[in-house]
Amino acid sequence: METGESTGHLGELFLRVGKRMRAMQAERFAPFGLTPAQAQVLSLVARSQTPPRMAELAEQLGVVPRAVTPLVDALERADLVHRRIDPRNRRSTLLDLTDRGAAMRQTLRDERLRAAEDLFAPLTHEQRATLLELLETVAANGM
């Protein structure tokens, strides 16, 4: 296989693996009434040092702010996050993780880990370590 062909094939395989991982997560998150996108927003809120603004979430997700609204609406209806007005800028909305949201985040992290374990089950420990090293190199090069 020529270099261009192998690079193209690598890209295709990478996309297929990503789609498979996303599908596995969607299947595991469905019993909790959440999508992978909602889980990602929940995780971003939980990891923030201070309550994030919705515009900040949109920036982190690489989407327009109005795309975040339905995700946050669903999380708020499920009592996983709470919206409040930013006291420093009343036009901005801050998001706080609820106690239920913190517990759900941990549950989703556990499910995501199980999905990854299932996905990478065919690989040996050494192959996983090599793949991790290679992907970290590629990821660091893009930042």
**What is the CATH classification number for the domain harbouring 130?**
1.10.10.10
- Summarize pLDDT for 18-29 with one digit per residue, the tens: 999 999 999 999
Domain residue limits at 29 = 3-141
For 31-83, what is the HEC assignment? Answer: HHCCCHHHHHHHHHHHHCCCCCEHHHHHHHHCCCHHHHHHHHHHHHHCCCEEE
- Asked whether the whole model's pTM tops 0.85, one would answer no
Please check whether residue 22 is in contact with residue 35, taking contact to mean a CB–CB distance below 8 angstroms.
no
pLDDT digits (tens, 9 = 90+) for 98-107: 999 999 999 9
Would you say 131 and 123 are in contact if contact means Cβ atoms under 8 Å apart? yes
Q: Which tens digit of pLDDT belongs to each residue from 5-58?
A: 788 999 999 999 999 999 999 999 999 999 999 999 999 999 999 999 988 999
The per-residue pLDDT for range 59-79, each reduced to its tens digit, is: 999 999 899 999 999 999 999
Tell whether the model's pLDDT for residue 143 goes beyond 70: no
- The pLDDT of residue 1 is 59
Number of domains present in the structure of the chain: 1
How far is C-alpha 83 from the chain's CA centre?
A: 20
